[in-house]
Structure 1
Amino acid sequence: MKRRIILMGWVMSMMIGFNSCSSDNDPIDNTDDNPGQVPTTPTEPGALNLENYKNGTGVMMQTFYWDVEPRHEWWKIINGKVEGWANAGIDRLWLPVATKGQSGGYSMGYDPSDYFDFGEFNQHGTVATRFGTRDELVTLIANAHANDLEVIADIVINHNSGGGLEWNPYRNKNTYTLFDGTHGNASGMFNRNYENFYPNSTSDYDHGSLFYAEQNLDHNQEYVKNWLWKSDNSVAKYYQDVMGFDGWRFDYVQGFEPWVIKEWMDEVGGFAVGENWDGNANNLRNWVAAAGIPAFDFSAFYKMEEAFDRHNDLTYLGKDMLRKTHPEMAVTFVANHDSEKDSNADNRIAAENKLKAYAYILTHDGYPTIFYSDYENAAFQDDLKKLILLHNTLATGDVEILYNDNDEYVMRRKGTSTNPGLILYINTSSNTKRRTINSHWTNTTLMDYSGKTTYKPTTGADGSVSIEAPAGSYSIWSITN
């Protein structure tokens, strides 16, 4: 991965005495009875060269938002950003659904019609997909690989759309279940008819999918299994072996059983994550155990939304999340294409709180995802680059919450024998705050590597130190040279 970033730094690690909710009366609020010393040092300490502390992790970029514009240009647009993303510390690109949907050039891909039309067949009113042509996609994937980035395919394997109308004896009416060379499947591969959807001659099961229930694929059929993942020219193997995709983002996994993903992954492997839109951490734990792959951590997403927005109470960050019990199975995020298109405030984190939420996921365990529109926001990008760098370097070791009340949250990554780790301090009050904690460093000057404060405290002989977080913001601490 090509990157050369030296960050002006600051970091620290803490134990902490748990205190009651802090006061907002003073511009700087030392909330502990025994505020830490802030001794001066004869020489200015230097920031760590974070390039020397790479911890082997990375960050995934979601490379699209809902209804990207301009149409037919997207593969070329993001191709021009690949090298910059790689330099910033991104290690995977999550692409939108790459094949032709019923809406043709207007389709975001979640109405899949032809699984093998990447923008080369004239159907549904267009040759190119909304994102561009097959050749442009191939160029993008090759460029990503040249920059050491994996490319993740968004896969929709339960509901289909855009087929021809045919009589369906199992539903006793006409259904849009005919997919062939002249009915939404110009590639001629994976032709389908009513027998391949629920219900059919082998199953009367009806999942009741929220999307295109009449075109809900029956994964129990060998024909469907073969075309989706088992045969040499299956969707999975074509994506992997011909197009060059490295992994999978499984859309709407509540629309089919977890064993489908297990069989898919046993056949082709690669990185994978499932979209199980469920804020209940227990439900997510049960699903990842059954499917055998990570899930987007909607439990963490909703706890952040409640902490920063809905209830303005950081104690929600102390509640149950998938990442707290199964960090290796949790893909964390602050926003995605669905949450941002939804006008429901409870399904999104407000813009003024997003950087605090990104500071949370990029310092904690779990595998974080950056949303394209947030990274490309000029007001966010510099901060996100710093946070990505800190994630890929100092954000390592066990997680320990040192302090948590309604407007303060302090967390330590304990580091390793060769990595000092870090401490995150979030403050949602209207005043700058300082809090004394007991660090595992002695007689060491600390710095805020997020750049939010120039305050440089020094730990005492017992490891105690007072750290600072600006009003409505965060700071990230570690040792200096």
Structure 2
Amino acid sequence: MMLAGEASQSKAQDSISASSDPKQEDSSLEGFYDELPLVKQLPLHNSVGVSVRKCRETAKNIIYLETDLPGDVVVHWGVCRDDAKNWEIPAAPHPPETILFKNKALRTLLKQKEGSSGCSELFTLDEDLAGFLFVLRIKENIWLKYMGNDFFVPLSKSSSSVQSNKDSEATHVSGKGEQENEDVSGSAFTDGIINEIRNLVSDISSVKTGKTKTKKVQESILQEIEKLAAEAYSIFRSSTPTFSEEAVLLEEATKPPLKVSSATGSGYEILCQGFNWESHKSGRWYMELKEKAKQLSSLGFTIIWLPPPTESVSPEGYMPKDLYNLNSRYGTIDELRDLVKNFHEVDIKVLGDAVLNHRCAHYKNQNGVWNIFGGRLSWDDRAVVADDPHFQGRGNKSSGDNFHAAPNIDHSQDFVRKDLKEWMCWLRKEIGYDGWRLDFVRGFWGGYVKDYLEASEPYFTVGEFWDSLSYTYGDMDHNQDAHRQRIVDWINATNGTAGAFDVTTKGILHAALERCEYWRLSDEKGKPPGVVGWWPSRAITFIENHDTGSTQGHWRFPGGKEMQGYAYILTHPGTPAVFYDHVFSHYQSEIASLISLRNRNKIHCRSIVKIAKAERDVYAAVIDDKVAMKIGPGHYEPPSGPQRWSQALEGRDYKVWEAS
């Protein structure tokens, strides 16, 4: 490894080579890099590893880069389309902590590994690219390159070890040379497992040690492949994935059962929202809902989302006060326990609605501001964020957006996190909740959510990250990548431990159905345009809830077109959520038929979508080669071929077929 050393500060600042030949001048890169003089060459006893595989679902290249270099490591990276290795910026999505550098490249701060030294990151790249180019910044103005050149990882066209374009000799990924000769058989994984998953690893980035013979090099490369294979197994089979969707797809996603995780459940979940904005008014909602438990189970629902259970300033429950007081407008704590028990008896899991972003105070401070809390969690104003102008908190600045109707809780405080984790664990044990719907997660960092979920160990969790889509002069933009990227970023911040409501898909369905613009339901890559197109297993799709519909009507789904929306979400990947008002309406039989079709064809959160049509008046798709569907007034019939299709369902402007 070579260090491009400490040159003059003025030239070294944010400067880096992005050429495969550092001696060759390229006018297109003017102002983008300065060649830095080499101060000294140092042997480094660290390693940089890169593995590449093809995602079977999307055909995209999944790149996993890791290093044991200490401290904050920044990867300066781009892609190329041919052997000329001209740097380009790849299409989104990009990893978290990624910034644009002079419109020529990207810079990503690698994530520190938990429980071990070093850092890593995962990159998802389109299938038509020739290579992945990068260099590493290990300190200010100190850059790590490969024998004076950019690191180059070939994509698609090669499965050999990564080599410099100027040096044909295979080299070992580790800088430890002859001193390192680990026996992989001591690994926790068996040889059979390693052999099974070696195909996941197609390339390894290498750093030359210089004194090793060819045979020794080959043995070392094999050892490194086996280590990465073992690590890949733990990543791709993990029940709490930490990377993007393609990285956590199973080798055969269509084979049940999928492993349970807190973001997906079993992968075959169908969620019912078990209340609306008016449900509190009877004062006995828990008892009323208990009577519907068997019916909801017979309709095919596997999870129900209950309203917030705590004492609240507002009757709907979203202005919580004493978190341990579970006598609310919906019923008593005993009625809640009984309700949860009844749902468990009919094999339905139960989500509690946890409002963690804000809390209403019990008392005023000396300035007359409501920011002193009572009850079992008797916090003072240190529990309130400092930048909420209405409540004069003495905590740290908020890690998200402020909710101005109540004091925003400072989750950076150790005592706050400790108390909330204890409360959530208490709810799991005392009430029997199986998981969470998290309110207003825009208000605090997703990393805190990860902390809470690791403590409470839920079966399923979904966060509400709701903000505005992109519009130009009042018209919704076709490209909503920026919107879904914000949701994906939040999911990433939770380390993939939670899913999120696919607000992007709801918004695009609005525009497509209202304006007869069904072309909106395919993005520029020919994929679904919402979160479900980028990270389907973490997308909880829906068309209505207590905020958007019901008596609030903040963002009501186009009237009379609800079944087109359900024909879409109940046949597509993701975890579909059905609103209470629609379940108990004249739509019930149609919704039940769609749920039944989804279950018998084993459509799940990672199912594969092939969009067949996305035109002005019709959208059509084939899912897992088992189900074909269309919505819109236009014509579509599934293609004849190996499969024989039979029409299963038909309604107003929608049809669904099954393969026979």
TM-score over 0.5 for the alignment? yes
Cα pair 1:395 1:422 within 8 Å, conserved: no
Cα pair 2:278 2:551 within 8 Å, conserved: no
Residues 1:287 and 1:439: Cα distance change in structure 2 (over 3 Å): farther
* Amino acid aligned to 1:351: G
Q: In structure 2, which of residues 411, 416, 428 is the aligned counterpart of residue 224 of structure 1?
A: 416
| Residues 92-111 of structure 1 aligned to structure 2 (within 5 Å) | 92-103=303-314, 107-111=315-319
Residues 1:94 and 1:436: Cα distance change in structure 2 (over 3 Å): closer
Is 1:362 the counterpart of 2:362 in the alignment? no
Q: Distance in 2 between matches of 1:267 and 1:62?
A: 25
Cα pair 1:102 1:162 within 8 Å, conserved: no
Residue equivalent to 1:65? 276
Q: Distance in 1 between matches of 2:508 and 2:394?
A: 45
Cα pair 1:65 1:372 within 8 Å, conserved: yes
Normalising by structure 1, what TM-score? Answer: 0.72
Q: Distance in 2 between matches of 1:297 and 1:373?
A: 19
CA-CA distance at 1:323 after TM superposition: 0.4
Is 1:203 the counterpart of 2:396 in the alignment? yes
Per the alignment, in what secondary structure is the counterpart of residue 491 of structure 2?
A: helix
| Residues 1-40 of structure 1 aligned to structure 2 (within 5 Å) | none
Q: In structure 1, which of residues 390, 393, 401 is the aligned counterpart of residue 600 of structure 2?
A: 393
Residue equivalent to 1:315? 519
* Amino acid aligned to 2:565: A
Cα pair 1:154 1:250 within 8 Å, conserved: yes
Q: In structure 2, which of residues 331, 355, 377 is the aligned counterpart of residue 190 of structure 1?
A: 377
| Residues 295-374 of structure 1 aligned to structure 2 (within 5 Å) | 295-309=500-514, 311-319=515-523, 320-341=529-550, 347-374=555-582
Cα pair 1:54 1:393 within 8 Å, conserved: no
Deviations 1:114-150 (A, max 9, x none): 111111xxxxxxxxx1111111111100001111111
Is 1:440 the counterpart of 2:614 in the alignment? no
Q: Distance in 2 between matches of 1:364 and 1:206?
A: 34
Q: List structure 1 runs of 4+ shifted beyond 4 angstroms.
A: 53-56, 204-208, 341-345
Unpaired segments ≥5 residues, structure 1: 1-52, 120-128, 168-172, 416-420, 453-471
* Amino acid aligned to 2:592: K
Deviations 1:299-327 (A, max 9, x none): 11101111111x22111111321101110
Unpaired segments ≥5 residues, structure 2: 1-255, 259-265, 387-392, 470-482, 524-528
Q: Distance in 2 between matches of 1:436 and 1:91?
A: 30
Residue equivalent to 1:4? none
Q: In structure 2, which of residues 485, 489, 509 is the aligned counterpart of residue 286 of structure 1?
A: 489
Residues 1:58 and 1:392: Cα distance change in structure 2 (over 3 Å): farther
* Amino acid aligned to 1:115: L
Q: Distance in 1 between matches of 2:335 and 2:562?
A: 32
Residue equivalent to 1:237? 425
CA-CA distance at 1:94 after TM superposition: 0.4
CA-CA distance at 1:426 after TM superposition: 1.6
Q: Distance in 1 between matches of 2:345 and 2:438?
A: 25
Cα pair 1:159 1:211 within 8 Å, conserved: no
Residue equivalent to 1:178? 372
Per the alignment, in what secondary structure is the counterpart of residue 330 of structure 2?
A: coil
Residue equivalent to 2:344? 145
- Aligned identity (percent) is 25
Q: Distance in 2 between matches of 1:439 and 1:366?
A: 27
Is 1:412 the counterpart of 2:632 in the alignment? no
Is 1:477 the counterpart of 2:647 in the alignment? no
Q: Distance in 2 between matches of 1:384 and 1:342?
A: 22
Residues 1:54 and 1:449: Cα distance change in structure 2 (over 3 Å): farther
Deviations 1:369-421 (A, max 9, x none): 000001111x2000000011112222534210112211111110124xxxxx1
Residue equivalent to 2:35? none
Cα pair 1:240 1:246 within 8 Å, conserved: yes
CA-CA distance at 1:211 after TM superposition: 3.0
CA-CA distance at 1:439 after TM superposition: 3.8
Residue equivalent to 1:467? none
Q: Distance in 2 between matches of 1:340 and 1:133?
A: 27
Q: Distance in 2 between matches of 1:252 and 1:201?
A: 22
| Residues 96-175 of structure 1 aligned to structure 2 (within 5 Å) | 96-103=307-314, 107-119=315-327, 129-167=328-366, 173-175=367-369
Cα pair 1:331 1:366 within 8 Å, conserved: yes
Q: Distance in 2 between matches of 1:166 and 1:406?
A: 59
Residue equivalent to 2:466? 277
Normalising by structure 2, what TM-score? Answer: 0.53
Is 1:376 the counterpart of 2:584 in the alignment? yes
The structure whose RCO (Cα within 8 Å, separation 6+) is larger is 1
* Amino acid aligned to 1:191: S
Deviates more, 1:265-274 or 1:67-76: 67-76
Q: Distance in 2 between matches of 1:388 and 1:477?
A: 14
Q: How many pairs are equivalent?
A: 366
CA-CA distance at 1:74 after TM superposition: 0.5
